[in-house]
Amino acid sequence: MKQIILTGDRPTGRLHIGHYVGSLRQRVILQNSGEYDEIYIMIADAQALTDNFDNPEKIRSSIVQVALDYLSCGIDPNKSVIFIQSMIPELTELTFYYMNLVTVSRVQRNPTVKSEIQQRGFNTSIPVGFFTYPISQASDITAFKATVVPVGDDQAPMIEQCQEIVHKFNQTYGETLIEPKIMVSTNATCRRLPGTDGHAKMSKSLNNCIYLSDDEKTVREKIMSMYTDPNHIRVCDPGCVEGNCVFTYLDAFVHDGDFEKYLPEYKNLDELKDHYRKGGLGDVKVKKFLNSVMQEELAPIRERRAYWENHMDEVMDILQKGCEKARQRAMETMAEVRHAMKIDYFNPNDPIIK
151 belongs to the binding site for ligand TRP (CB under 6 A): yes
38 belongs to the binding site for ligand TRP (CB under 6 A): no
Q: Distance between CA 253 and CA 82 in Å, rounded?
A: 26
Number of shown-chain residues binding ligand TRP (CB under 6 A): 13
Segment interacting with ligand TRP (CB under 6 A) among 75-83, 88-96, 136-144, 256-264: 136-144
Query: Kind and range of the H or E element at 148?
Result: strand 148-150
51 belongs to the binding site for ligand TRP (CB under 6 A): no
110 belongs to the binding site for ligand TRP (CB under 6 A): no
| Cβ proximity to ligand TRP, 9 vs 344, nearer residue | 9
Residues 296-315 that bind ligand TRP (CB under 6 A): none
| Cβ proximity to ligand TRP, 50 vs 244, nearer residue | 50
Q: Distance between CA 148 and CA 183 in Å, rounded?
A: 7
6 belongs to the binding site for ligand TRP (CB under 6 A): yes
Three-state secondary structure call for residue 84: strand
C-alpha distances in angstroms, 21 versus 183, 278, 283, 347? 13, 29, 23, 47
Four-residue CA torsion sign, 200, 202, 207, 210:
positive
**Least CB distance to ligand TRP at residue 205 (A):** 15
DSSP notation for 124-192: T---HHHHTHHHHHHHHHHHTT-SEEE--GGGHHHHHHHHHHHHHHHHHH-S-PPPPEEE--SSHHHHT
Nearest residue to ligand TRP by CB is 44
Number of C-alpha atoms within 13 angstroms, CB side, residue 170? Answer: 12
Q: Which of 11, 17, 40, 47 binds ligand TRP (CB under 6 A)?
A: 47
Q: Across-strand partners of 40?
A: 6, 81
Binding mask 196-215 for ligand TRP (x = CB under 6 A): --------------------
Segment interacting with ligand TRP (CB under 6 A) among 2-10, 73-81, 238-246, 293-301: 2-10
Q: Distance between CA 242 and CA 290 in Å, rounded?
A: 16
Query: Kind and range of the H or E element at 320?
Result: helix 312-340
137 belongs to the binding site for ligand TRP (CB under 6 A): yes
**Least CB distance to ligand TRP at residue 162 (A):** 8
- Do 289 and 264 touch, CB atoms closer than 8 A? no
Segment interacting with ligand TRP (CB under 6 A) among 3-11, 70-78, 100-108, 319-327: 3-11
User: 118 burial class (0-12, 13-18, 19+ CB within 10 angstroms)?
Assistant: exposed
**Least CB distance to ligand TRP at residue 180 (A):** 8
141 belongs to the binding site for ligand TRP (CB under 6 A): yes
**Least CB distance to ligand TRP at residue 1 (A):** 19
* Footprint on this chain of ligand TRP (rule: CB under 6 A): 6-10, 44, 47, 137, 140-141, 149, 151, 155
